[in-house]
Structure 1
Amino acid sequence: MSATHSGTCFCGAVQVEVTGSPEAMGYCHCSSCRSWSAGPVNAFSLWKPENVKVTRGQEHVGHFAKTENSDRQFCTECGGHLMTMHPPFGLMDVYAATIPTLDFKPALHVNYGETVLRMRDGLPKMRDFPKELGGSGETLPE
């Protein structure tokens, strides 16, 4: 039986459910994620889109796409961030904080070349993205 985790936006108007296991978990350091999250780093969990569904409040889900790479989704009631669809990767990023029962086990850092917060945790630090996702595949020192 697949694991199912639920979470909500800040006010609870929108509920999101993920099923199964994420494709990847980690931290993003890009300037877009930092600005969107209002934090120095964003904790992500990437899922196949068919494993993510809005189970309540679909009418309150707003969208913002600064670029064609990211359709950021948020609650129109409270502004709480929910997830981001990444069309080039065919993956949905459900922010780790949105699904509090998920056992968050980060495996890497992406876009570490843009970091403003050095993290010495022993995980691989990718300059941008792994080669499989169109990046350089280059790692950086902690």
Structure 2
Amino acid sequence: MAANGGYNGKCFCGAVELKVSGEPVAMGYCHCSSCREWSAGPVNAFSLWPQDAVTITKGADSLASYQKTERSIRKWCKTCGGHVLTEHPLWGLTDVYAAVIPALPFKPMLHVNYQETVLPMKDGLPKQRDFPPGFGGTGELVEE
């Protein structure tokens, strides 16, 4: 935890550092093919924060970005290639990948885009077929 509240995070090499303040809006797992391809893993652990709760404290000029859709601007460190965050401007949120903030007690609330899963997880958490209604999804749940 940061000295004045919040949590500190960094990319793989430490060239980019950030701070998140307050509490995340949501934490969970995304199973969409876009997140899987981006993360090179079967599932992506996310922590969503209000945009103004995320501050790059070092290395802002070391961040590169890519925008595949209007929903997501993915950012990574140009030095090490480590993924740092994804901005979601339509929702006013920033996803700081859970692994980037090692001291954050990760408490997942749900799974999103579970219809696309390649790694079924039996953890008792709600499994959204796509997204909750407030994020443009159906809100439909699927079974574990």
TM-score (norm 1): 0.97
C-alpha separation between the residues in 1 aligned to 2:65 and 2:32?
A: 20
Q: Which runs of 4+ in 1 moved over 6 A?
A: none
C-alpha separation between the residues in 2 aligned to 1:64 and 1:129?
A: 22
TM-score (norm 2): 0.96
2:48 match = 46
Q: Deviations over 1:97-138 (max 9, x none)?
A: 000000000000000000000000000000000011110000
Q: Is 2:108 the counterpart of 1:90?
A: no
2:59 match = 57
C-alpha separation between the residues in 1 aligned to 2:140 and 2:15?
A: 41
Q: Is 2:119 the counterpart of 1:117?
A: yes
Which secondary structure does the structure 2 equivalent of 1:126 belong to?
coil
Q: Deviations over 1:57-78 (max 9, x none)?
A: 0110100111111000000011
C-alpha separation between the residues in 2 aligned to 1:78 and 1:40?
A: 22
C-alpha separation between the residues in 2 aligned to 1:86 and 1:4?
A: 20
C-alpha separation between the residues in 1 aligned to 2:29 and 2:143?
A: 15
Give the share of equivalent positions with the same residue, in percent.
61
Q: Say which of 32, 35, 49 aligns to 2:34.
A: 32
C-alpha separation between the residues in 1 aligned to 2:119 and 2:90?
A: 27
Q: Which has the higher strand share?
A: 1
Contact 1:3 1:21 survives alignment (8 Å): no
Which secondary structure does the structure 2 equivalent of 1:3 belong to?
coil
Gaps of 5+ in 1: none
User: What displacement does 1:3 show?
Assistant: 2.9
Q: Deviations over 1:28-59 (max 9, x none)?
A: 00000000000000000000010001000011
2:11 partner amino acid: C
- CA 1:89/1:12 → structure 2, altered by over 3 Å: closer, same or farther? same
User: What displacement does 1:2 show?
Assistant: 6.9
Alignment RMSD, CA only?
1.1
